[in-house]
Structure 1
Amino acid sequence: MKTYFPSPFFRFMSLLLAGMMVLVLPSCHDEVTSTYTFKTVIPVYLEMSTIRAKDIVVAPPQELENPGKIYIYGDYLFVNEPQKGIHILDNSNPAAPINVNFIKIDGNVDLAINSGILYADSYVDLLAFDINDIRNVKLENRVQDVFKHMYHHHDTGVIITYKDTVMTADSNQMWHWGRPWVMMDRVNLSAQSASPGSQSYGQGGSMARFTLMSGHLYAVDEYSLRVFDVADAKLPKHLKNIDLGWGIETIFPFQEKLFIGSNTGMHIYDAKIPSDPRELAVYQHILACDPVVVNEKHAFVTLRKGVNCNNGVNELHVVDIQNPRNPTLLKAYSMLHPHGLSLTGDFLYVAEGKHGLKSFDVKDVMAIDKHQLEFLQSMKSVDIIAGPKSLIVIGPDGVCQFDYSTPSVLRPLSCIQVKNPVVV
């Protein structure tokens, strides 16, 4: 007897039925019909042979329509357009970033950069681009079918995705890599800027599903961790998949460890042997969406209610990780609707979704609430990168940069606005 899980099509139909409701109200004289229309998506069935046969086009600069992941590498800022591709901007001067070009990549949601090689997903495949000449980007390699189960229809094997989506400022949702039929509560990658030897890595935010460490690329989906050997940056080799359970959301590397956020807890993996990460512990919490950043002593974890964790809480957890086999909650702080976060020294920046952007002095982790520095309520925010030149904040309205040389007072530098922001 075979067991079938609900297919993406089944989930779509459920969504559609819930989204198109007709309420009939009887009256003394006439029958009154009220129709409620909700934003939804349409299933699209694809053949990967068709996708692979298409040329990868590096197009002229395009306006930002639906911001996804952010990533910085050298003087360049990369902004993903979910399911469509990646914008590349010259960010030599964060006060005046210059839009350079746009790599069209069907089914792209995540990215990471290693020694001038950009890794990007394209539905079930992993692509490797040479970006050493940023105006002459070249596809170097394609590793096929490494993200296969995330898109394949259970019965037919056909690729299923969903056409377009809408990101609303009210719900703070964007496309979620690994859940193409749902919209996501997050964005991007690693806080590690360099690897051993000759490799150099970029930097991204706390809501990553791709990250790089010790000559290896790690990618998480809802259930597993995929390990790639990228010692030869142009030739990524898929080594193995590691089962993680369910509800996996983010990954963050620190000092030969991987901190993996999920709906139910934070997994800590020892990656001293980079090709074979081993679980050390799981810090469990109630059902909630869960990005994480860490330093030598503490993990800072935001928990929030979201699409897939409606029963969650809106809190910031501070976890003692000095014994990584026994992570211990020190204190939980109430938040409004926290998303991504970034830690630099003793300063923590928290994206509060539609509510704004908060900053804290966290020298005393037991009194963070008493040391809030700023609350920029006009800056709708989803994720943050504390980069070498600026604090980069992404939200539903676009990507903004701040001078944070005085951590307690953010000074606006620039904003790349969304072409047609959704008015809610």
Structure 2
Amino acid sequence: MKKNLINALLFLFALAVFTGCKKDEYERIQIVKMISVKEMRALPVGMTKAVQAKRTGKIYIYNNYLFINEPNEGIHIYNNTNPSVPVNVGFLQIPGNVDLAVHNNILYADNFIDLLAFDISNMNNIKQVKRVTDVFNQLYSAGAEKYLYTYKDTLVKKQTYKKGMFYDAAYFSNASSQGGSSGQGGSMARFTLMNDYLYTVGMNKLSLFDVKTASNPTFLKAINLDWGVETIFPHENKLFIGTNRGMHIFSTTDPANPVKLSTYSHIFACDPVVVQGKYAYVTLRTGNLCRQASNQLEVVDIEDPTKPQQIAVYPMQNPHGLSTIGDNLFLCEGNYGIKSFSIANKTKIADNMLQHLSNVKSFDVIAGPKSLIVTGDDGVYQFNYNNAANLTQLSVIKVQL
């Protein structure tokens, strides 16, 4: 009875958020409901035939493969040997999944409150090798009975939001740039790998997993952080954790025991961060849970990680994810497109925009070894970026409308 009442209230809440707004075209939204932990663990998990994504979430590259998360559904796997012709090879069904990372041919993914590990050494025979239970417990409901919030897509008229907030599933769980035996993900990551450890962030926690034996991830501990944690990025034995109030810097000199070095504070804002050399690049934006924010790019000197110093601020339209390589920065502007900048002069970045592709909706970006990979509402684009001032589209993986 209690469960049915909660479901009804959540359904009405979802409808209320989208009532009274101007309607002009269809879009997918999520209706919130609840499910017991027992029911969750009985849901099917594993490889199915290749299908077209309905929505795109996190992106991740490992060897010649491109992984595209479909929030709360699972991971689409593409053979990306030729970025001009990516081949859809299958769908890894994982209910409640929004994040992933890969280390030594083992793919780690969240399954609501659990961490799953899959052996992907044979892409034609992907196998689940471990489940680590109850490690992402920010999704638990209150009370003695264990229930989870879940999300179901439905098609409605497109809305112009005027009041209220609606939960974005990606807010609950989000992989960063790694090298060596690990893969490479985007700046909106909540999973990252470093020194044979998997680090994940939730709403208010940094969690650690020992993955020295990749197929046997072992949960070590969780470190409490302030509420509003959003992203994590690794760089030179440090973790840069983006929150809606600032950026935490942790030392991983002892990778099993991260130590907080400092916090760079800013106004209330959504906050992905990437790091190159002695500089961190942070985007702040309005929208979703960040309505009080400004839209801007900040450059922070982190040469002394105990005393991060802002050196420049640049106004943007609605910046989301970003990626740097060499003297170039690629910045996603949401519905306003994607921009490339020269960052050779940190105090003149706004004066050195190289290109603005206004027709590409963009959420996150990876400057990979073969292509620039951009994900947005309408699909995943790949560009040749040998010339950052003249991006050339190689392919696009469209979502099912």
Aligned to 1:108: 97
- Residue 232 (structure 2) aligns with: 251
Aligned to 2:177: 191
Q: SS where residue 288 of structure 2 aligns? A: coil
Amino acid at match of 1:327: P
1:375 — aligned with what? 356
Map 1:20-419; keep pairs closer than 5 Å: 20=19, 41-164=30-153, 181-184=167-170, 189-194=175-180, 200-419=181-400
Contact 2:79 2:86 in 1 (8 A): yes
Q: Determine the C-alpha separation between the residues in 2 that align with 1:14 and 1:188.
A: 25
CA distance in 2, matches of 1:122, 1:220: 15
Q: Which amino acid aligns with 2:140?
A: Y
Q: Is the 8 A contact 2:273 2:322 kept in 1?
A: yes
Distance across 2 between alignment mates of 1:154 and 1:191: 38
Alpha-carbon spacing, 1:228–1:171, altered in 2? closer, same or farther (3 Å): farther
**For structure 2, which runs of at least 5 residues remain unmatched after alignment?**
1-5
Residue 44 (structure 1) shift: 2.3
Separation of aligned partners in 2, 1:229 and 1:401: 33
- 1:47 offset after TM fit, Å? 2.3
One-letter amino acid matched to 1:64: A
SS in 2 for 1:317: strand
Q: Is the 8 A contact 1:151 1:161 kept in 2?
A: no
Distance 1:14 1:114, change over 3 A: same
The whole-number CA distance in structure 1 between the counterparts of 2:305 and 2:154 is 39
Deviations 1:58-89 (A, max 9, x none): 11110121001100000000001111111000
Q: Tell me which moved more, 51-60 or 353-362.
A: 51-60
Question: Could you tell me whether the CA contact under 8 Å between 1:187 and 1:383 is conserved in 2?
Answer: no
Q: Aligned residues, how many?
A: 389
Distance in 2 (alpha carbons) for counterparts of 1:186 and 1:241 = 16
- Amino acid aligned to 1:99: N
Deviating more after overlay: 123-132 vs 42-51: 42-51
TM-score normalised by L of structure 1: 0.86
Q: Over aligned residues, Cα RMSD in angstroms?
A: 2.6
Q: CA deviation at 1:154?
A: 3.7
8 Å CA contact retained: 2:98, 2:170: no
Work out the CA distance in 1 between the residues paired with 2:202 and 2:393: 35
Q: Distance in 2 between matches of 1:229 and 1:167?
A: 43
For 2:178, give the aligned amino acid: Q
Q: 1:320 to 1:308 in 2, by over 3 A?
A: same
Cα distance between partner residues in 1 of 2:16 and 2:392: 47
SS at match of 2:135: coil
TM-score norm. by structure 2 comes to: 0.91
Secondary structure of the corresponding residue to residue 138 of structure 2: helix
Q: 1:288 to 1:165 in 2, by over 3 A?
A: farther
Deviations 1:336-366 (A, max 9, x none): 0000000001100000000000000000000
Distance 1:64 1:42, change over 3 A: closer
Return closer, same or farther for 1:315/1:156 CA change in 2, 3 Å cut-off: same
Does the Cα contact within 8 Å between 2:138 and 2:202 map onto a contact in 1?
A: no
Q: In 2, Cα distance between the equivalents of 1:353 and 1:15?
A: 23
Deviation at 1:19, TM superposition (A): 3.6
Q: What is the aligned partner in structure 1 of residue 3 from structure 2?
A: none
- 1:184-243 deviations in Å (ceiling 9; x for gaps): 57995211122xxxxx10000000000000100011011010110000000101100011
Q: Output the CA distance in 2 between the equivalents of 1:168 and 1:327.
A: 45
Work out whether residues 27 and 155 of structure 2, in 8 Å CA contact, stay in contact via their aligned partners in 1. no
Distance 1:382 1:8, change over 3 A: farther
Distance 1:257 1:147, change over 3 A: same
SS at match of 1:259: strand
Say which SS state the counterpart of residue 146 (structure 1) adopts.
coil
Q: 1:290 to 1:360 in 2, by over 3 A?
A: same
- Judged with a 3 Å threshold, the aligned counterparts in structure 2 of structure 1 residues 283 and 12 are, in CA distance, closer, same or farther, namely farther
CA-CA distance at 1:51 after TM superposition: 2.9
Counterparts of 1:146 and 1:302 in 2: how far apart (Å)? 29
Report how far residue 56 of structure 1 moved: 2.1
Query: CA–CA distance in 1 between the matches of 2:28 and 2:92?
Result: 28
The structure-2 alpha-carbon separation of the partners of 1:79 and 1:180, relative to structure 1 and needing over 3 Å to count, comes to: farther
Q: What's the secondary structure of 1:119's corresponding residue?
A: strand
- 3-state SS of 1:164 partner: strand
Q: Distance in 2 between matches of 1:355 and 1:187?
A: 25
CA 1:107 to 1:250, structure 2 compared with 1: closer, same or farther past 3 Å?
A: same
- Say whether the 8 Å CA contact 1:393–1:401 is kept in structure 2: yes
| Offset at residue 48 of structure 1 (A) | 2.4
Q: AA paired with 1:371?
A: N
* Cα distance, 1:374 vs structure 2: 0.1
Q: Please give the per-residue CA displacement for 1:274-302, whole angstroms capped at 9, x wherever unaligned.
A: 11111100000000100000112110000
Q: 1:39 to 1:167 in 2, by over 3 A?
A: closer
Shift of 1:50: 2.7
